[in-house]
Amino acid sequence: MCGITGWLDWQRDLTEQGNVVTAMADTLKRRGPDAGGQWLAPRVGLAHRRLIVIDPNGGVQPMVRQAGGNTYAITYNGELYNFRELRRELEGRGHVFESRSDTEVLLRAYIEWGPSCVEKFNGIFAFAIWDEKEQQLFLGRDHLGVKPLFYAQRGSSFLFGSEMKALLANPLVKPEVDQDGLTELMAMGVFRTPGQGIYRGVTEVLPGHTVLVTRNGVRVTQYWKLESREHTEDFAATVQHVRDLLEDAITRQLVSDVPIGTMLSGGLDSSGVSAVAALAFKGEGRQLDTYSLQFVDEDRDFKANPMHRDLDAPWAKRVADTSGTNHHIILLDTPDLLEDILEPMRARDLPATGDIETSLYTLFKKMKPEVTVALSGESADEVFGGYPWYYTPEMRSINNFPWTALGGNKLEEAVLPDVMERLNPKAHQAMRYQEALSLVPRLAGESAEDARTREIFFLNIARFLPYMLDRKDRMSMAASLEVRVPFCDYRLVEYMWNVPWEMKFAGGVEKGLLREAFSHVLPEDVVRRRKTAYPVTHNPTYVNGVKQRVREIVEEGTSPIFDLFDRDKVRQAAYYEGPTGSGFVSLKNYYDHIIQMDAWMREYKVSLV
């Protein structure tokens, strides 16, 4: 995994802008700490920061190749899991390879097939290719959007980068947020609508899309989308099909020239991935390393709720023991979280959510000395139906994004009345909801209930999953760790999209089909364990710590957030000494959000325009 960035300009000579291109790339050093490089031509400058995973010597980037009298250059972030098959096909077409990296496979695929090359790829990727003869820049992003990619147009310039900080390092892009961006941020929070960059004039390349930049303009093309059709296989055949797809995806994603492990919480998704990976390792005479997160004193502080039914630790140990993995427990305490509390914001270039992201970053940071690559169970809930809003009637029926049924945004209570009236975040969220519904691939003849189920799956894949993948990518790459997500294999997502709910909910339990698919590699009690969300700290010392930070922000008094929030209301929350319980959780999130907004606006010198 890596960081990519670049600058195309139709008027100025970019061979004289190497320092700026270097500055853009330097912002991405944590994504690629092992090496860096740039390639400059009159019209384009490409840069790369590398995290070495495959072919340390041959995969140097930007990579330049000559073919048919033409020059092609690529900067690429990601992994192609079918690169061996593609390489054989390209060799059969006369291509001679100079490395064993998937970077060269991707570049030669473009040389052979042009922009349609993306239809050949199975992987996670974001890349840019400069075609000297055609004088065009071609950008592509993977099917589900696992790897990020942003761009901005400024006059004759087109700039792109893995993260928005790379764009902001160019003098042409200012940290300005207009009313549209602020409304999106306040209304949607971390569930930012795909394509929206928040900063003025910054756009995200959508998952499953490509962007072609020529002198005639910018052309965006969708090369992949979900399609609805009747499912024809019975339950037994469906289970076997899913099992085959999962085992193929997991084993493909174990390819690495550096140490690799898996995340193991003890939940169904990570347990299944770890069990299959452990079997593959055993077949090669190796032992798999697995990693889980625990909080100091969590036995004392844990409070069960519908999203957190029980502690993960005993279940992670159970799977590690039965699968024979070398299990590592990463123990986090309040000082760890408070020390790293702003790292997720710096990784995102936008306000983060608090300890749910901080703990993930700190977990990866502590894993990094031992592994460079890890597999994760991300997206199983979206693809197989793991969240309560899939099957809880009152959550299914709300006329909004179903996860909003978990509770409102308490931070809205502190927004200044004139700001609230001007932005009208509730109307914006309602508009975004209807916009998302209009994109659902419908199936003629479905019952109203089945159609609603299809809507909920689409909303989760197209709107909820982007946040989950964004969080996983930013937190892992900020720690210079690559995380792969087998459940995002587009073949699996395509297949599961049309499997009826009765099969997905087999046995009357969430992810019933997935439980059956993993039943041959997991203990029965692990297969039966009900869904428990990613863990959060329940330690009161964390709440006291973030509360004190909010008090300092209030008393210092010069924070730019007070252009948006009522200082007296924030002070009232900061000095609240009432009972804990559900309000305790809400206030913890409230404090986290205030800290994030304050630090983001200060550090990034955000201008509201």
Q: For 322-338, b where at least 16 C-beta lie within 10 A, e where not — what string?
A: ebebebbebebbbebbb
- Residue 122, pLDDT > 70, answer yes
Based on the residue annotation, tell me whether 488 is a catalytic residue of this protein: no
Tens of pLDDT, residues 326-357: 999 999 999 999 999 999 999 999 999 989 99
- What's the rounded mean pLDDT across residues 143-150? 98
Residue 579 has a pLDDT of 57
Confidence band of 52 (pLDDT split at 50, 70, 90):
confident
- Residue 123, pLDDT > 80, answer yes
Whether residue 101 is annotated as binding a ligand: the answer is no
Asked whether 342 and 297 are in contact (CB, 8 A), the reply is no
Q: For 136-168, b where at least 16 C-beta lie within 10 A, e where not — what string?
A: bbbbbbbbbbbbbbbbbbbeebbbbbbbbbbbb
- Residue 585, pLDDT > 50, answer no
- What's the rounded mean pLDDT across residues 372-388? 97
Compute the mean pLDDT over every residue in the chain, rounded to the nearest whole number: 95
- What's the rounded mean pLDDT across residues 437-448? 97
Among 1, 2, 411, 514, the active-site one is 2
- What's the rounded mean pLDDT across residues 146-159? 98
- Residue 437, pLDDT > 50, answer yes
Residue 405 has a pLDDT of 87
Asked whether 39 and 68 are in contact (CB, 8 A), the reply is no
Burial classification of residue 408, based on how many CB atoms lie within 10 Å of its CB (0-12 exposed, 13-18 middle, 19 or more buried): exposed
Distance CA(238)–CA(245), nearest Å, equals 11
Confidence band of 448 (pLDDT split at 50, 70, 90):
very high
Residue 535 has a pLDDT of 80
Beta-strand relationship, 44-50 and 63-67: unpaired
Burial classification of residue 189, based on how many CB atoms lie within 10 Å of its CB (0-12 exposed, 13-18 middle, 19 or more buried): middle
- What's the rounded mean pLDDT across residues 464-474? 97
Residue 408 has a pLDDT of 61
Residue 348 has a pLDDT of 97
Tens of pLDDT, residues 499-522: 999 999 999 999 999 999 999 999
Confidence band of 1 (pLDDT split at 50, 70, 90):
low
Superfamily of domain 235-528: HUPs (3.40.50.620)
CB atoms under 10 Å from CB of 304, counted, come to 10
Q: In CATH, what number does 2-222 get?
A: 3.60.20.10
Whether residue 102 is annotated as binding a ligand: the answer is yes
- Residue 400, pLDDT > 80, answer yes
Residue 229 has a pLDDT of 98
CATH 3.60.20.10 residue spans of the chain = 2-222
Asked whether 141 and 161 are in contact (CB, 8 A), the reply is no
Asked whether 343 and 358 are in contact (CB, 8 A), the reply is yes
Confidence band of 306 (pLDDT split at 50, 70, 90):
low
- What's the rounded mean pLDDT across residues 412-425? 93
Whether residue 418 is annotated as binding a ligand: the answer is no
CATH 3.40.50.620 residue spans of the chain = 235-528
Residue 588 has a pLDDT of 87
Asked whether 476 and 482 are in contact (CB, 8 A), the reply is yes
Write the single-letter amino acid at 149.
Answer: L
Tens of pLDDT, residues 10-38: 999 999 999 999 999 999 999 999 999 99
Confirm whether pTM is higher than 0.85: yes
Tens of pLDDT, residues 249-265: 999 999 888 999 999 99
Instruction: Phi first, then psi: give them for residue 169, nearest 5 degrees.
Output: -80, -10
Longest C-alpha distance within the chain, in Å? 74
Q: Which residues does residue 214 pair with via DSSP β-bridges, in sequence order?
A: 217
